Amino acid sequence: MARSAFFLACFIFAFLSFSAEAEVVKHTFKVSNIVVRRLCKNKTITAVNGQYPGPTIEAHEGDSVAIHVINESPYNITIHWHGIFQRMSPWADGPNFITQCPIRPGNSYTYRFNVIGQEGTLWWHAHVSVLRATVYGALIIHPRVGGVGFPFPNPYKEETIILGEWWKADVVGLQNKALASGGAFNISDAFTINGRPGDLYRCSNKHTHKVEVEQGKTYLLRIINAALNSQFFFKVANHRLTVVGADATYTTPFSTDVITIAPGQTIDALLHANAPPANYYMAAIAYASAPVSVSPFDNTTTVATLTYKNSPPSSSSSPPLMPSLPAFNDTPTAHHFYSNLTALRPNSVPLQIDQHMFIAFGLGLTPCSANQPLCQGRALSASMNNISFSFPTAVSMLEAHFRRIRGVYTKDFPNRPLVAYDFSNPSVNNVGSFQLTDKGTKVKRLKFNSTVEMVLQNTAVLAAENHPLHLHGYNFYVVAQGFGNYKKKEAVKKYNLVNPQERNTIAVPVGGWAVIRFRADNPGIWIMHCHLDGHLSLGLAMALEVGNGPTPSTTVPPPPPDYPQC
């Protein structure tokens, strides 16, 4: 009895200690249109709190977060907290018509969620239309107060680097035109670092982000790719970087002079200020894996300046030193970076698999629809296992799941492609039967706590391309990746089942494959989709319906009182 009382006292002490340390981080986001000037031109954009990029959310592991979003823009809006697990808070995940109906103009909604078991760099962004071109910001999770801290020496300072894209034209208008014609979304006119193109573009000398460092100090760069459609190579002239985290998970320290980062991904890297005091460029260019003839890209360069304290200022006659950047199509460099990341410590990758899935995905074609007046014959589409995802329009999938509303989606997403073919062979471009896709709102039903292995097979229909796939509600283990068609006997020899990298977004190699594993222990409706926004709008997505567990803490709770109605 005394022993039981002792353990009860210890539990109460620990609970009170946790409660005392944990905080509720509160913000108000006012979404509205503002005018900014870039590339010699004023432009109206949608932004949060008049800021571009939007405000940074900072929390500690164990905190709760409450973000009150007030929509003063002319558009429907939702916000996705990219990488947050949303355990017991699936109503706060944010994807439009998946976990919520949009926040209509003039209305509001409060997102509430806990930050448990995550440390590092994440981000938030709009999840309606192409509004995330300018509606985005960093979400930084510091180690728990009173905890063990970083698994590396504390940096002198931290610097957030958000890579993005800029269009001179209105992005919503560009998307409407692309949808009406059944064609591709326009490429960007510039890239940005923290919303600024950098002084290599016209009229952009004062729109250049600047970072000041001191000789001998170490800085933690929190790098985020917030671009709609571009992957990046990122370098700092005359400096190497040590990668220590990816998608808010710690990695084995990895020394590199170039970082490859896909839309949706984050990288934490240490920069050691040990170069001769001077001015250096941080630079980013596109990694464009698809053939240029099929998929044109923005071939410009965005820069920020890294300036050592007390060094002479740069000038037109003495500009900052520029890094030597990879070629835009340097796939070996990209793959070397992506495939060499591993977890800092052995992790709990599932060894016994309950559910095997083989998902072939990529571009395709579909007959023009009635709402595409400029389309001629066939429209560009994208699919997973030949199903081009159609978003509901009357009720969210999560509400349909919770209230058992029929007719919103079907539970027959196939485990494998209906037709097998030479997935990575570009010659399939000429075979019409492989180009055509079917529209549908289908989910894959998973039992609570089941273990899942997905083979993600990139296809070469229309064009082979490196695709970043993001899974909501989960991290997953990347146990292997490679080029060509997935062949199990050869691939399993490469499986890392000890310390594979853990991510929420994977860049599946161009014309290749990746194998991921995770445990379906987070009940609700969760979408997996391509984080190239043009491809998401074309249907490159699928949804998982994860059943409830045996206890109230593993059951989807009711929606909050202010849950948006359609």
Q: Which residues pair with 32 in a beta bridge?
A: 47
Picking from 190, 159, 205, 192, the residue whose alpha carbon sits closest to that of residue 306 is 159
- For residue 457, report the phi and psi dihedrals to the nearest 5 degrees: -105, 115
The answer to pTM > 0.85 is yes
- Residue 225 one-letter amino acid: N
Picking from 421, 360, 408, 429, the residue whose alpha carbon sits closest to that of residue 388 is 360
Per-10-residue mean pLDDT of the chain, 566 residues long, equals 39 42 92 97 98 98 98 98 98 97 98 97 96 98 95 97 98 94 94 98 95 97 97 98 98 98 98 96 96 86 96 84 97 97 96 98 92 92 95 96 97 93 85 83 98 97 93 98 96 97 98 98 98 90 97 96 92
Q: Compute the distance between CA of residue 504 and CA of residue 476 in angstroms, rounded to an integer.
A: 6
Category of 91 on φ-ψ map: left (φ > 0), alpha (ψ -120 to 50) or beta: alpha
What pLDDT is recorded for position 16? 42
- Residue 40 one-letter amino acid: C
What pLDDT is recorded for position 21? 67
What pLDDT is recorded for position 14? 40
| DSSP structure class, residue 53 | S
Q: Please name the residue that has the structure tokens 């949608």.
A: 46
Q: How many CB atoms lie within 10 A of CB 119?
A: 22
Q: Compute the distance between CA of residue 475 and CA of residue 503 in angstroms, rounded to an integer.
A: 5
Q: Which domains does the chain have, with CATH numbers?
A: 24-142 (2.60.40.420), 157-340 (2.60.40.420), 355-554 (2.60.40.420)
Q: How many CB atoms lie within 10 A of CB 295?
A: 18
**What is the C-alpha end-to-end distance of the chain, expressed in Å?**
55
